[in-house]
Structure 1
């Protein structure tokens, strides 16, 4: 509508001797455009860009056709409404209170069947798109065996449960953001609470925990993670950071011993963009996600669009925004993938594919969208130079995300093959757990094409942080809010 008003207003202003019609149209277009920019910018850029650039060709073509029909309909309305409004303005401006039709130079036209048909067609396009979306929602969400989970139990959790994993002996281990590592025993079906025992302390901002055999791994983000983030002091956090990977031996009673640092001097931006989850790959190597700089807390990063980390910022600056892998003793560090803004959690499926969810935010040249990633060796997702799509120059090898998520604040991810459910990934977003189906073919992992946002399968109380498949065949969801809890869910049959 705004584009039509501006385009036709400019044209009418240039081709008519009386420019009042053009001025009114341009003014109306500016008002509508300003409203969209001030109050609807996020919705316009999110829904429109997402619809036109992501998904099957049929969906994009359908959306374009609806847009064209809307512009044509607006053209029809403008040719009738604007002259009427202009006539009213002229009457108000006229001293004698009246003006003849001949003097106004406005050509009165009747409503045509063609114009009414265009309006009906536009409504039909919109309604048809909604119906098609609903049909695909039913096909991909309602009958796939994973659209619903049944809640089994809810337990109180330690303060801010940031990560969860289970040992072969049946113990669960929780990384509490400000308190350390807690151990608990698997609950029985009628148990009403979990008994937590602190087994490791003096760990700062542990946001990952991984049990591999008889060893537990976690991360220590150090005191720099709580530093200042303003333009003057922001980089001091990065310069002074010393993130570590810690290892413990797991004793027969579930206690931890032999604390040791296997990897140190890792870059930490802040408590949000930090060292996150550790996952053991099929080759036995550990994989660690490390966050990158964020534009809001480091505004000078985007000045001139030419910031490049250096040894002055941190000796291991090349690890910013990466997934690295290393041997269980911390040796032979390699960069698996780069160009990540902030991936909070990692998960491997039973075929050895690695997945993570990338938090959104501005890059140097465009926006990084909240997205599900298939993380492969050598992948470069573009950050901080480029956004999610449509921003990288020709010739640049920037890896596309697997799926653009309809939500914000992605944290935990888990593959459903571990629960014997429909093949897909669950992702914790703000106030919901979403499900993204996964297809597998000759070209590897993909998301089957459907035209709707990924279905929300769980809406927990609070903000979900952890999603982890337990050895009991249940999905464990750790949430923060008024109460920090673990809620257990089982896939609906």
Structure 2
């Protein structure tokens, strides 16, 4: 259980979240940010990486024992020991892991291992973008061995991102942005018919952003604990950062907009998407994006507006009131906002 907490990537700020939305008051450089929360909720600052050493943590994962693993965007991995609720938050202990691995944007504890999605052209000790498995080989409760499972070609803000465990307890799901090439080898579940086949030539971004990126854009793959094979299950994203399974075992993500397209007919706002097997969401560069009414393109579950999507967390394991456990918490970096999305089955 997450007890009464959600771990949020705002300097390891931990918060009990909301019905509609919570917003961040960024405060001053000397004071931690505050969240404007609905009545009955409160937040605690456990640790502020930016205040301590100017690092920027971009991924968190539970360790199965009440603690967290964390990653600096351009640096090392950390373990966070969290004091019990009701105790002094300053008792939080942060330990840098003694591993030649970092630059991670996805972390997951599963199969008695830490899975790490590295997002970097060079990485640490040459460990560039890819999926890595970190284990404790001698049983001393210290992670000491790094094994590369698969390589990804792509890095940066639109590179490889999150990894989550499937509801079957045996599968891993990974998401990558549209500047990440498809894996070298994969088994397609998605029909591979993603040509840019529109009547009029696409109007590409005049500043050159993603002008050379080809379909199918960002993608989601499914694999096993050893990454023995990758199944391409969904494509057509711009830059979805994270994934989460709902209480019903359905997979969702939160995709980004191209803010420079605002006001254009092809603009697509940030939106929650239902990641069904074999789905295509129609990202194409410039004006070539598919409209929602295309029959081979799935529409959004919810459209939010402008922003920069980051984390997605299911409420199913949180000790929150029932209405929160049935939905998703989604996080917007641009405006420092947490949204709760209520999910209702239809069809």
Q: Same fold (TM over 0.5)?
A: yes
User: Equivalent residue for 1:281?
Assistant: 166
User: Equivalent residue for 1:339?
Assistant: 236
Aligned partner of 1:308 among 207, 214, 222: 214
Contact kept in structure 2, 1:179 and 1:202, CA below 8 Å: no
Structure 1 position 390, deviation (Å): 7.3
Work out whether 1:257 is the aligned partner of 2:144.
yes
- Give runs of aligned pairs for residues 370-409 of structure 1, distance below 5 A: 370-384=270-284, 391=291, 396-409=295-308
Give per-residue Cα distances to partners, 1:76-129, cap 9 Å, x unaligned.
xxxxxxxxxxxxxxxxxxxxxxxxxxxxxxxxxxxxxxxxxxxxxxxxxxxxxx
Contact kept in structure 1, 2:117 and 2:130, CA below 8 Å: yes
Distance, in Å, in 1 between the alignment partners of 2:101 and 2:207 is: 26
Give per-residue Cα distances to partners, 1:337-367, cap 9 Å, x unaligned.
1000001111112321111110101689822
Give per-residue Cα distances to partners, 1:217-246, cap 9 Å, x unaligned.
011223369xxxxxxxxxxxxxxx952111
Distance, in Å, in 2 between the alignment partners of 1:435 and 1:393 is: 26
Which structure has the larger Rg over C-alpha atoms?
Answer: 1
Work out whether 1:413 is the aligned partner of 2:312.
yes
Distance, in Å, in 2 between the alignment partners of 1:217 and 1:296 is: 36
Distance, in Å, in 1 between the alignment partners of 2:234 and 2:39 is: 33
Aligned partner of 1:322 among 211, 219, 222: 219
More helix by share: 1
Q: Provide the aligned length of Structure 1 versus Structure 2.
A: 270
Distance, in Å, in 1 between the alignment partners of 2:293 and 2:211 is: 18
Structure 1 position 263, deviation (Å): 0.9
Provide the secondary structure at the position in 2 that maps to 1:256: coil
User: Equivalent residue for 1:425?
Assistant: 328
Contact kept in structure 2, 1:177 and 1:205, CA below 8 Å: yes
Structure 1 position 398, deviation (Å): 0.8
Report the CA distance shift for 1:385/1:184 in structure 2 as closer, same or farther (over 3 A): closer
Distance, in Å, in 1 between the alignment partners of 2:145 and 2:208 is: 42
Distance, in Å, in 1 between the alignment partners of 2:65 and 2:265 is: 49
Distance, in Å, in 2 between the alignment partners of 1:400 and 1:392 is: 5
Distance, in Å, in 1 between the alignment partners of 2:251 and 2:273 is: 8
User: Equivalent residue for 1:177?
Assistant: 73
User: Equivalent residue for 2:116?
Assistant: 218
Distance, in Å, in 2 between the alignment partners of 1:259 and 1:297 is: 42
Work out whether 1:247 is the aligned partner of 2:133.
yes
Contact kept in structure 1, 2:82 and 2:93, CA below 8 Å: no
Distance, in Å, in 2 between the alignment partners of 1:333 and 1:219 is: 15
Distance, in Å, in 1 between the alignment partners of 2:167 and 2:116 is: 19
Distance, in Å, in 1 between the alignment partners of 2:80 and 2:207 is: 39
Contact kept in structure 1, 2:176 and 2:218, CA below 8 Å: yes
Unmatched runs of 5 consecutive residues or more in structure 2: 1-18, 22-36, 50-54, 181-203
- Give runs of aligned pairs for residues 26-105 of structure 1, distance below 5 A: none
More strand by share: 2
Structure 1 position 253, deviation (Å): 5.9
Work out whether 1:366 is the aligned partner of 2:266.
yes
Distance, in Å, in 2 between the alignment partners of 1:186 and 1:369 is: 36
Contact kept in structure 1, 2:134 and 2:144, CA below 8 Å: yes
User: Equivalent residue for 2:44?
Assistant: 153
Provide the secondary structure at the position in 1 that maps to 2:115: strand
Distance, in Å, in 1 between the alignment partners of 2:207 and 2:221 is: 23
User: Equivalent residue for 2:157?
Assistant: 272
Structure 1 position 424, deviation (Å): 1.7
Distance, in Å, in 1 between the alignment partners of 2:45 and 2:288 is: 37
User: Equivalent residue for 2:344?
Assistant: 439
User: Equivalent residue for 2:105?
Assistant: 207
Distance, in Å, in 2 between the alignment partners of 1:322 and 1:190 is: 42
Structure 1 position 323, deviation (Å): 0.7
Query: Structure 2-normalised TM-score?
Result: 0.68
Contact kept in structure 1, 2:269 and 2:305, CA below 8 Å: no
Give per-residue Cα distances to partners, 1:393-440, cap 9 Å, x unaligned.
85x501111100134011111122222431221111121111221113
Contact kept in structure 1, 2:269 and 2:303, CA below 8 Å: yes
User: Equivalent residue for 1:470?
Assistant: none
Provide the secondary structure at the position in 1 that maps to 2:317: helix
Provide the secondary structure at the position in 1 that maps to 2:316: helix
Contact kept in structure 1, 2:220 and 2:232, CA below 8 Å: yes
Distance, in Å, in 2 between the alignment partners of 1:277 and 1:267 is: 15
Query: Structure 1-normalised TM-score?
Result: 0.49
